[in-house]
Amino acid sequence: MASSRILELANDIGKFTSLIHDHLALHDLQFPSFNPDTPGTLPDELLKAQDAVLDATAELHDLLMPPISALHINGNAQNLVSMNAICRFDMANSFEPGEETSFPQIAKHAGLSEAVTKSLLRHAMTLRIFCEPKKGVVAHTARSVLFREPQIQNFISTGLEEMTPATLRTVDALQKWSLSEEPAETGFALANNTNKPIYKILGDDPVRAKRFADTMKVFTTGKGFETSHVISGFDWQSLGAATVVDIGGSRGHISIALAMQFPALKLVVQDFESTVKGAENDVPESVVARVSFMAHDIFKEQTVVADAYYFRWIFHNWSDKYSIKILRSLIPILRPGVHIIINDVCMPEPGMMAAWRVKELRTFDLGMLAILNGRERDAEEWKDLFERADPRFHFEGVTQPEGSNLAMIAASWSG
């Protein structure tokens, strides 16, 4: 029998799925399912096999689907309606996981007609959100129970009610401001009929601000964002008794972790005054003498003399124009040998990462464009950014800690 791409993919799916199955069985771990109590992730040692299966199944799916159907399914805004409705009308909290309910009962909870509720939920079921074990009976799945958690609800609502309108106006923004690097000349600005950047709009609306903050918490506390990757991703020990400035460090969770791991380090956390106010009260007593907070604007001249300056997930918010301003704000106080450590996404070279992960990163990239004119960068673009800021920045390269969503992008000041 002649070989073909679809047969190669089917063989890969079988091989790597068996590997996952055998590992889980050997260690008496729960198999993946859509049941509400199923763990959401696989063990780290299975991540490569997981990547292989997800990429192969996605490619096989796309090869066998008619092109016009693929465009319709992937590009249709109606796909978002059911998830938005589940959040808006709190449908997932209308009954408990492990229980069963009916469409009329959910409709009553939501204040919607039974017909509309049925349409919404049966669409959601195509996304594995809820299931219908027998006709007219609704039960939870591993995906629908996520909608019961307030932070996850806000995470989903931010995507649907902030990101989606901005995304749908991004091409309009590109047409209107074709070469703009300004954070207020975006799809978000057009969708909100404003000339202000997203931070100012959210700052004036506590409800939207809370929703967006919860979204960031979901991202930064999830798998791949653990502080352990920061600790292992740079040779902090080599700094000795050094001062590190954590710029844009929020309430200092990274600095606290570094202080606890490296007793010789002194950490200074800088952020907006409203962000750092009272943050010292949350610092563990064992490191409170070595972790301090101060208000600082990242575009203003740096005032703290330090051995290293650390930025976590800051630069992707900004276009090159403003990212260069951030780097240049350090220059007046830099001494030869000082380290600049950027903890941010580094986009992979083609073919160097699982396709499903690349798709997720590319989605983030367009999201930053839609709301802030920001962007994700690859290693060459990070190097170029330092060079454009000042040739005295010596680019030292990129380290991608195993299992981390963020890379450690390092440079030093040559003086």
* Helical spans, DSSP H, in 92-239: 103-110, 114-125, 150-158, 164-168, 170-176, 187-191, 198-203, 206-220, 227-233
How many residues does this entry show for the chain?
415
Q: Which one-letter DSSP state was computed for residue 163? A: I
Cα 380 to Cα 375: distance, rounded to the nearest angstrom: 14
58-97 confidence digits (pLDDT tens): 999 999 999 888 887 777 778 789 999 999 999 999 999 9
The residue type of 250 is S
Using CB atoms within 10 Å of the CB of residue 50, give its burial: 0 to 12 exposed, 13 to 18 middle, 19+ buried. buried
Q: Which one-letter DSSP state was computed for residue 196? A: S
Q: Is pLDDT above 80 for 268?
A: yes
320-334 confidence digits (pLDDT tens): 999 999 999 999 999
Scored b (16 or more CB within 10 A) or e, 62-94 reads eeeeeeeeeeeeeeeeeeeebbbbbbebebbeb
- Evaluate whether 376 touches 361 at the Cβ level (below 8 Å): yes
187-204 confidence digits (pLDDT tens): 999 999 999 999 999 889
343-375 confidence digits (pLDDT tens): 999 999 999 999 999 999 999 999 999 999 999
162-189 confidence digits (pLDDT tens): 999 999 999 999 999 999 999 999 999 9
Chain mean pLDDT for the chain: 94
237-252 confidence digits (pLDDT tens): 999 999 999 999 999 9
Q: Which residues are catalytic?
A: 316
Element (H, E) at 242: none
Q: What percent of the chain has pLDDT over 70?
A: 100
Q: Is pLDDT above 90 for 289?
A: yes
- Tell me what pLDDT residue 220 has: 75
106-159 confidence digits (pLDDT tens): 999 999 999 999 999 999 999 999 999 999 999 999 999 999 999 888 888 898
- Tell me what pLDDT residue 323 has: 98
Mean pLDDT of the 267-274 span: 94
- Tell me what pLDDT residue 176 has: 98
**Residue 30 phi, psi (nearest 5):** -70, 135
What is the three-class DSSP state of 28? coil
- Evaluate whether 140 touches 97 at the Cβ level (below 8 Å): yes
Q: Is pLDDT above 70 for 1?
A: no
